[in-house]
Amino acid sequence: MARSRNIKPAFFSNDELAESNCALGRLFFIGLWTVADHNGNLEWRPKRLKAQLLPYDDCDIKKLAINLDKSGFIRYYSDGDILYINIAKFSDHQNPHKNEKLKGTTFPIYSEEGRQLVDLNTLMINLDKSRLNQESSQSDPADSLNLIPDSPIPKKRERFAPPSLDDVFNYMVEQSVRDPAGESDRFVNYYESNGWKVGRNPMKSWQAAVRNWITNIKDFKKPDPPPSKTKTIENLTNTDWANEIIEGNAQ
């Protein structure tokens, strides 16, 4: 039985999905969500899936599915007798109705022990539990990307490394800071003392922190007091001068 599912706008700009799968493959992927259970699992029955999801299109369902497996968006698995498909990260992005969860499912939960490898050279599924070395068989690791079904693929975040004093100094020179030596020294001392955190969170970009520091330099400095005015005869009126003589303050 088909079910209503959610689709996010980011699905359409997912370049990894688009590069690895044709338009029908991407449409087929969406269709799989509607026939999967609340865990994102469904039985692999290519003829039925073709009739359910792409009845009016001339296409090879097996090829579409294996391309999705190759790019890491679905995974084949087996309980020893029947072959199933698991949609990666399904439960993170779908919110099945509570009655669907209460009803339960007849499909076994996906596990790595039941994972079935795909021979990408012949587009065939290896129906065994041998856990063949995919590198030696020239098959790509289908689930190594750990992808999200309907969101762009997350980029691998580089590990933050604190900058040196010279790095900060040179960057402040590029930003035309009036006192790059003094400000870079204050910047490094400040963030070294708090463990390179911005608020309570670890710093992600020291360049962004430097730009923010430059914007808020005025908050770290007290404004110089205005110069005091010396009262002289030249800047006093006749009335003021007379008052100053009476008070004994004239110079």
Mean pLDDT of 22-50: 90
| Residue 227 in this model has a pLDDT that exceeds 90 | no
Tokens at residue 41, please? 């699992």
Task: Name the nearest CA neighbour of 110 among 5, 34, 39, 33.
Answer: 39
Burial code of 35-49, b = ≥16 C-beta within 10 A, e = fewer?
bbbbbbbbebbeeeb
Task: Name the nearest CA neighbour of 30 among 77, 68, 66.
Answer: 68
pLDDT 10s digits, 113-159: 777 665 544 445 555 543 333 333 344 444 333 444 444 444 455 67
Mean pLDDT of 93-105: 75
Sequence letter at residue 249: N
Task: Name the nearest CA neighbour of 33 among 5, 65, 73, 71.
Answer: 5
Q: Is pLDDT larger for residue 112 or for residue 210?
A: 210
Q: What is the dihedral of CA 76, 79, 83, 88, to 10 degrees?
A: -30
Coil vs helix vs strand at 156: coil
pLDDT band at 244 (very low <50, low <70, confident <90, very high): low
Tokens at residue 61, please? 């369902």
**Which of 39-43, 185-189, 197-201 has the highest average model confidence (pLDDT)?**
185-189
pLDDT band at 92 (very low <50, low <70, confident <90, very high): confident
pLDDT value at position 22? 92
| Residue 65 in this model has a pLDDT that exceeds 80 | yes
pLDDT 10s digits, 66-82: 889 888 899 888 877 78
pLDDT value at position 247? 60
Tokens at residue 66, please? 């294996």
Helix, strand, coil distribution of the chain in percent, nearest 5 = 40, 10, 50
pLDDT band at 224 (very low <50, low <70, confident <90, very high): low
> Residues of the chain with pLDDT > 90: what percent?
22
Among the ranges given (23-32, 113-122, 179-188, 191-200), the one the predictor scored with the smallest mean pLDDT: 113-122
Would the pTM count as exceeding 0.75?
no
pLDDT 10s digits, 2-30: 777 888 888 888 888 888 899 999 999 99
Report how far residue 235's alpha carbon sits from residue 229's, in angstroms, rounded to the nearest whole number: 10
